[in-house]
Copies of this chain bind each other. A is one copy, B any other.
Amino acid sequence: MTEPTMNGSWVRTAVLVAVLLLQTATCQLQYETRYCEQRVDHFSFVNSDTYLQKYLYNDTFWDHDGGPIFIYTGNEGDIEGFAQSSGFVWDIAPEFNALVIFAEHRYYGDSMPYGELSTTNLTYYGFLSAEQALADFASLIYEIKNSTPGAANSPVISFGGSYGGMLTAWFRMKYPHVVDGGIAASAPILQFPGVTPCGAFAEVVTRVFTEVNPECTETVRKSWSIINRLGLTEEGRGTLATTFSLCKPLKSYIHVLALISWLGAIYDNVAEVNYPYPADFIQPLPAWPVRAMCEHMTDSSEDDDTLLQSLALAVNVYSNYTGDTMCNDISDSQESNLTSSEEPWSFQSCAEMVFPMCQTGVDDMFYVSPWDYDTYAESCYEAYGLMPRRFMIEMLFGATKIEDYSNIVFSNGHLDPWSGGGILYNVSDTVLAYIIEDAAHHLDLRGSNPADPQSVIDARNFEKRYIQLWIDEARINNLAKKSS
């Protein structure tokens, strides 16, 4: 699974985790940690095992007489991390008098259906699917409504970012009798085979860099052939190791490929978390980190050595913003903090969440990296003993044909590489797209910040209006039923 040509996409999918997982906790959130007994298999009767799904629960702000329920549909990581990084939900809960629930996704955090065995082989691993996770969320709401006095008629609003946003959209789509509306932030529900071209992600990254300075893009673009050329000789590899302050020498060309992959992932990551204020996820980063990087890459006509030095300075913004990093360990890679959650996401990517990801070097600033389904499928079979269900998500959730669903706001940051697989146009009167001009990956879901651009403030107000509308609709429907 670490085959160089696929690294790009693995890194990217891992970043989906990283972004939400490791954001700075700026305040101490108040919640109870609770557990809900769930069936391991919701849809068949062979396996009647159950497991405990973790969820966080806060009723401080809740109107105990039918106030709404806000549920965050947890994605690939510990739920506490998503609670910390989804400040929007906490910020608005008081004004809506909402019960706040953050529900952990099965096979992440403490919600392991078979404890340590969960990820050992397909017998245990095989119940990790989006459909099962959605049924967990539906069962959890069903359970809470039936066991909490005052909650039986509570409207339910779902929130999620990234894969969590996909789950929120699908949750509303599949269970509109359970959830009244959903804010699906930066949810690339079109990032699937035959729906979105594999190069979309890299093209948005490139655009984000170009919008800062076309020279910045051009510098990156030119760097690959220089690195490749130097990588062919021992002397050149020495130069590369020195220039990029690598911890270990580049012993052969295969290590040069790792360097190339490491660099590519940095541009991807920086674009994704290009927030207007300093933040700390994968690494501590300054405000508008793409801009900060591009300040070092302003002249692509520099000679090769100087261009590489400029690039190294730019990369340093990402790899050593604090100045504490003595050297760069490219084998360790930026996912080092994600070991616990990385593997289940890889499994999901192989099972059903098949995201085609490629780079052409023409439509984007990257090195050439094709996406080949057969190679992908083979590596999945090798790693997990399963062949991807290539078109499963489209069959289950409809991809572009979602006009008959309702009450979803799909928000996407104009600066977010994942927007390439997002819903960017209104699908209907009730399935809406909202583009946030100055936002990277689900900035709108993060807590309010003095540095927030007006566009994200506007987006949050837009979302709040729809949340209120959905709550009102749900209440009107309830009243209509009572009086009939």
A→B interface (CB under 8 Å): 41-48, 122-123, 125-129, 131-132, 135, 138-139, 142, 174-178, 180, 351, 386-387, 391, 394-407, 425, 477, 481, 484
Cβ of A259 to closest chain B Cβ, rounded Å: 35
With A48-B386, A395-B142, A425-B484 in contact, is A132–B43 under 8 Å at CB? yes
Which residue of B is nearest A123, CB measured?
B46
Out of B44, B125, B177, which one reaches A404, CB within 8 Å? B177
Cβ of A346 to closest chain B Cβ, rounded Å: 13
Cβ of A232 to closest chain B Cβ, rounded Å: 43
Distance A394 CA – B48 CA, assembled complex (angstroms): 19
Distance A131 CA – B398 CA, assembled complex (angstroms): 17
List 10 A-B pairs, minimum CB-CB distance, nearest first: A177-B398, A46-B126, A176-B404, A45-B126, A177-B401, A43-B43, A43-B131, A142-B395, A44-B126, A44-B127
Q: Which residues of B are found within 8 Å of A402, using beta-carbon distances?
A: 177
Q: Is B127's CB under 8 angstroms from A400's CB?
A: no
Q: Is A45's CB under 8 angstroms from B122's CB?
A: yes
How many copies of the shown chain assemble into the complex? 2
Distance A162 CA – B387 CA, assembled complex (angstroms): 37
Distance A397 CA – B177 CA, assembled complex (angstroms): 7
> Majority SS of interface residues in chain A?
loop
User: Which among A128, A132, A396, A477 has the greatest number of chain B C-beta atoms within 10 A?
Assistant: A396
Distance A399 CA – B177 CA, assembled complex (angstroms): 9
Out of B42, B351, B391, B403, which one reaches A45, CB within 8 Å? B351
Q: Is A398's CB under 8 angstroms from B44's CB?
A: no
Q: Which residues of B are found within 8 Å of A477, using beta-carbon distances?
A: 403
Cβ of A430 to closest chain B Cβ, rounded Å: 9
Q: Which residues of B are found within 8 Å of A396, using beta-carbon distances?
A: 135, 138
Q: Which residues of B are found within 8 Å of A122, using beta-carbon distances?
A: 45-46
With A48-B386, A404-B407 in contact, is A178–B398 under 8 Å at CB? yes
Cβ of A39 to closest chain B Cβ, rounded Å: 8
Which residue of B is nearest A45, CB measured?
B126
Q: Which residues of B are found within 8 Å of A386, using beta-carbon distances?
A: 45, 48
Q: Is A47's CB under 8 angstroms from B126's CB?
A: yes
Q: Is A45's CB under 8 angstroms from B129's CB?
A: yes
Q: Which residues of B are found within 8 Å of A404, using beta-carbon distances?
A: 176-177, 180, 406-407
User: A43-B43, A43-B44, A177-B398 provided; 20 other pairs, C-beta below 8 A?
Assistant: A42-B131, A43-B131, A43-B132, A44-B129, A45-B122, A45-B125, A45-B126, A45-B128, A46-B126, A135-B396, A138-B396, A139-B395, A175-B398, A176-B398, A176-B404, A177-B397, A177-B404, A178-B395, A404-B407, A425-B484
Q: Which residues of B are found within 8 Å of A48, using beta-carbon distances?
A: 386-387
Cβ of A75 to closest chain B Cβ, rounded Å: 19
Q: Which residues of B are found within 8 Å of A398, using beta-carbon distances?
A: 175-178
Q: Which residues of B are found within 8 Å of A387, using beta-carbon distances?
A: 48
Cβ of A472 to closest chain B Cβ, rounded Å: 14
User: Which among A45, A135, A174 has the greatest number of chain B C-beta atoms within 10 A?
Assistant: A45
Q: Is A132's CB under 8 angstroms from B177's CB?
A: no
Which residue of B is nearest A121, CB measured?
B46
Cβ of A205 to closest chain B Cβ, rounded Å: 26
Distance A125 CA – B48 CA, assembled complex (angstroms): 13
Q: Which residues of B are found within 8 Å of A126, using beta-carbon distances?
A: 44-47
Cβ of A447 to closest chain B Cβ, rounded Å: 30
With A142-B395, A395-B138, A395-B142 in contact, is A176–B125 under 8 Å at CB? no
